[in-house]
Structure 1
Amino acid sequence: MSIQGDKSERPPFFKLSETPVRLTTYLRGVVSDPASVIPADIYDQWVAPPKIPGGPLVITRPETVRDILRDKDARFGRNKQLRTMMRRVWGKGLAAAEGDDWAQQRRAVAPAFRPDRVAKTRRAFEQATRTAIDQWPTDQPIDADVEIGPIVAAMLAGSILPDLDPARGREISQDIPKFVEDMTRFGLLDLVPMPEKWLDWYRGTGRTKAEQRMRQLAAAIADKRASGPDELADLPALMRGHGPLADNILGFMPAGFETTARAIGWGLFLLARHPEWQERLRAEARASADGAERPLARQVAQESLRLYPPAPIMVRSAICKTEIEGQRLKPGQVAMIAVFAMHRHRRLWDQPDMFRPERFAPDSGTNLDGFLPFGSGPRLCIAAQFALTEIEVALSEIVRNRQIEAFGPEPEVSLKITTHAVNGIKLLVRPMSTSPADMILKETQ
């Protein structure tokens, strides 16, 4: 998949309506990689009926999607694979909790992500980005997946996780994708009723080096912060006494690292192919005071999240018999929300595959009902504005005094769990003059 200039291609969703497929192949895809069984025509349609009795119903209509996620009638819940993934990553922490336990933990951590608190983190985010990119090579390409990790680590250490050592940012950012991959390994055996601990053993849960390092780090921070100081208002202090502290620290690390780092990488990828937007962000950054909001950078961050949403697929399972988009669902049947396709849907967006950040300008008149990068309803990502600010600041600071250029082959997009490039995102990052006078002199030479 590529986006160059005015041309782009959509990811190769498996064309079930055109290509015969074995039942076992289809079922394996439903369980292990739902994006692989979404019909290619979903970019033009609001719904794709199940291909087999009891199969998943694919949905892209924004109103229906919001109804499912808000679930005022209690018709939907998490399917088995999602519950298993959350349990493996979060244990009994916030994202895995249900009912009153979930509500209590969410209320406890909410102050960390209030708008006024997020606004105060901007300067820390700016400094974290400047410090990290000073270490980037200028004579060879960088791997965005590797080099952005220290930025995100420093951002978290300067805000909600002060006990995180920024020096370990590279190591952590390399462990997290492996950890997530291990926690989301599913197959046909997951359709067979059996004790979860048997499946965990079969999938190797708890045995990989990456997972062991992640759990040891979370446990060490939790032990350190098990008591006081109470005056701190960071994540460990807020969550102490409200759910398992180690589980929540472990869960917030991939949630905070993986999605934000991916989004920053895709933003740089897009800016590399649109140097005119680099110039606009550069001018805005140089004209802005430290800690100030940067509207153009925010628009680029939002457009990057539209084209490459961190969570490309959301899944809910029917709790009772219900009807959606004229289709009857039985208990246990899955409603698959194709966020990636909704963000590029031909009925929702003008030139849906084009990189056009101006669509997020306040006076653009764009209907944003189909924009759901962080979900919706009660389970809306609690750190949505925090993450958006991280992405905005990182993109702005990186291009302030540097020119981003594409390098190597086009990223091969995968929508398995997160929207990521299986072959990585390679970029050349060249230093630029920080002096406007030097830039004018350079232009006249």
Structure 2
Amino acid sequence: MKGMKDTAPAYPPRVKLVTEKWGILQSLRAAQRNLIEIIPEIALHQPIVTGKMGKPWHMVMDPDAIRRILRDRLDDYPKSDVTKNILRPAIGDSLFVAEGAHWRWQRRAAAPVFSHRNVASLAPIMSAAAERSCARIDAHVGRAADMYSEMVTSTFEVISDVTFSGDEGFDREAIHKAIDGYIDSTAKVSLFDVLGLPTWIPRPGRMMSSGGMKAMKSMADGVIDSRKEKAEGEVMDLLDLLMAGEDPETKRKMNTSELRDNLLTFIVAGHETTALTLAWALYLCAFDEDVQTRAREEAQEVLKGRTATEADLEHLPYVRQIIDETLRLYPPAAFLSRTAQVQDELCGRPIAPGDTVMLPVYALHRSRLLWDDPDAFDPERFSKDKKVDRFAYLPFGDGPRICIGMSFAVQEAVIILATILSRFKFTRVEGKDPYPVLILTLRPEGGVWLNVERAD
């Protein structure tokens, strides 16, 4: 395989950013094709970029300004109307979309669900999924396989098992298809969004998949209602924990629709994003065989042929570094958007109420001002002796609205990646390197095709 490594490109796939000024229609076409393509290349070289497209916008890549937006002045920078317009049809007014007091009580009620103890108790489900994934991968030994498709299967098994364990009336395949159809068909920026038209005006594309979404919500409601009639089992899953949760300040619990919207949020976010992280991580390990070899040696030394468990996490630091570096190069949520509510100033630029403030995480993670050789794949950036500004690295957001399932996602990713790398070796399929495309999440266009061999 030495020849394969010699022909590898210097850097893993990256998006060519904009170097000229675009009009509204050109920007819209690019945003619908790949949202990353609307980021100006100059964003990699300065802390803020300002422009106008229907209404004024500002792209912010400065950690101090981002800290102000996400932590210090949270209520002054709620999620943008575009974000809410895209997500509400699928996940209602759940944690991810809600603002102010309605968000705060839900966050307080849901926070204990993702305590270290509860997340650790769900690890056996992740280990079982890793074992099943290895069995499927083994069937591809000696040829190429789409590891993105495999990781989607594996992570959906995890999220459905930890969410609706033991519910026979829950059609997992129907849920999976509804989510994929929603992301593929309607989770795109509309011309109406670009022009800043009111949110009450229907976006045509988002009306087309409403049937699948309604069926998915109805199915989830049925499972929740039937679960309320059952006695608690010895092992509580995500739904049990969420149903038991209450806001410690108001004692309020979630009703059926609130439970459903938050469960669908966890399902959409919890399987798609982790699948992407794992698929990109496997590609990057194939891209740099030295990194892959080091990770395999670590995993084999710790696991000795068995499947990884929660207890192994602290002994797999290099595998964790690979996950962290993967999330830097290919953050699943690669573009965040907020709407300013008050007059403010960021990086010396005036911000007016109603202005769109964008956090292009993809550009932030590749900023020439913040990272050395930022397009390179280098897990050593995240070794324990290195210091990374937390607001220069936002794979899970930050501040009070940091992703509530972050520890769940990292635990799952390390367990599955370590188990797979301990048993298999992956190499690039020349000419089939994945290209990053952002619609709702940063997906590898065409999948992640890798040659599969058993590890020594």
Shorter-chain TM-score bucket reads: 0.7 to 0.9
Contact 2:339 2:356 in 1 (8 A): yes
Contact 1:13 1:39 in 2 (8 A): yes
Q: Deviations over 1:369-403 (max 9, x none)?
A: 41110001121100011111111111111111111
CA distance in 2, matches of 1:426, 1:32: 22
TM-score normalised by structure 1 residue count: 0.86
Q: How does 1:385-424 map to 2 (within 5 A)?
A: 385-407=407-429, 408-424=431-447
Alignment-derived partner of residue 371 in structure 2: 349
Q: Which moved more, 1:310-319 or 1:48-57?
A: 48-57
Q: Which moved more, 1:33-42 or 1:387-396?
A: 33-42
Matched, 1:68 2:63: no
Distance change in 2, residues 1:10/1:141 (3 Å): closer
Shift of residue 365 of structure 1?
4.4
Q: Which moved more, 1:271-280 or 1:170-179?
A: 170-179
Instruction: Report which structure shows greater RCO (CA 8 Å, sep ≥6).
Output: 2
Alignment-derived partner of residue 224 in structure 2: 222
Shift of residue 301 of structure 1?
0.5
- Equivalent position SS for 2:228: coil
Shift of residue 270 of structure 1?
0.2
Shift of residue 264 of structure 1?
0.6
CA distance in 2, matches of 1:70, 1:317: 15
Amino acid at match of 1:199: P
The percent identity for this pair of structures is 28
Which of the numbers 190, 197, 209 marks the counterpart of 1:187?
A: 190
Amino acid at match of 2:125: A
- Equivalent position SS for 1:381: coil
Alignment-derived partner of residue 46 in structure 1: 47
Alignment-derived partner of residue 263 in structure 2: 249
Shift of residue 120 of structure 1?
3.5
Alignment-derived partner of residue 249 in structure 2: none
Alignment-derived partner of residue 435 in structure 1: none
How large is the Cα RMSD of the aligned pairs?
2.9
Amino acid at match of 1:271: C
CA distance in 1, matches of 2:196, 2:299: 55
Contact 1:28 1:187 in 2 (8 A): no
Q: Deviations over 1:149-170 (max 9, x none)?
A: 22112322454442478x9777
Shift of residue 353 of structure 1?
1.2
Distance change in 2, residues 1:185/1:366 (3 Å): closer
Shift of residue 65 of structure 1?
1.0
CA distance in 1, matches of 2:425, 2:360: 34
Contact 2:78 2:340 in 1 (8 A): yes
Matched, 1:153 2:156: yes
CA distance in 1, matches of 2:277, 2:167: 21
Q: Deviations over 1:27-54 (max 9, x none)?
A: 6667996533221121111111215684
Shift of residue 258 of structure 1?
1.0
Distance change in 2, residues 1:203/1:52 (3 Å): closer
Amino acid at match of 2:275: A
Q: Deviations over 1:78-110 (max 9, x none)?
A: 221112123112113222223333222222222
Distance change in 2, residues 1:365/1:68 (3 Å): closer
Amino acid at match of 2:423: N
Distance change in 2, residues 1:95/1:228 (3 Å): farther
Q: Which moved more, 1:23-32 or 1:421-430?
A: 23-32
Q: Which moved more, 1:360-369 or 1:375-384?
A: 360-369
Q: How does 1:29-428 map to 2 (within 5 A)?
A: 34-51=35-52, 54-72=55-73, 74-136=75-137, 137-163=140-166, 173=176, 175-190=178-193, 191=195, 193=197, 196=200, 199=202, 203-207=206-210, 209=212, 211=213, 214-230=216-232, 233-240=236-243, 241-243=253-255, 244-289=258-303, 290-291=308-309, 292-293=312-313, 294-367=316-389, 369-407=391-429, 408-428=431-451
TM-score normalised by structure 2 residue count: 0.84
CA distance in 2, matches of 1:176, 1:225: 23
CA distance in 2, matches of 1:140, 1:31: 34
CA distance in 1, matches of 2:74, 2:199: 30
Shift of residue 12 of structure 1?
1.4
Distance change in 2, residues 1:421/1:27 (3 Å): closer
CA distance in 2, matches of 1:258, 1:34: 18
What residue ranges of structure 2 are gaps of 5+ in the alignment? 1-6, 244-252
Q: Which moved more, 1:392-401 or 1:80-89?
A: 80-89
CA distance in 1, matches of 2:82, 2:58: 16
Shift of residue 206 of structure 1?
4.1
Distance change in 2, residues 1:299/1:172 (3 Å): farther
- Equivalent position SS for 2:350: strand
Alignment-derived partner of residue 11 in structure 1: 15
- Equivalent position SS for 2:66: helix
- Equivalent position SS for 2:51: coil
- Equivalent position SS for 1:134: helix
Q: How many residues align?
A: 425
Contact 2:15 2:36 in 1 (8 A): no
Amino acid at match of 1:12: K
Distance change in 2, residues 1:22/1:158 (3 Å): closer
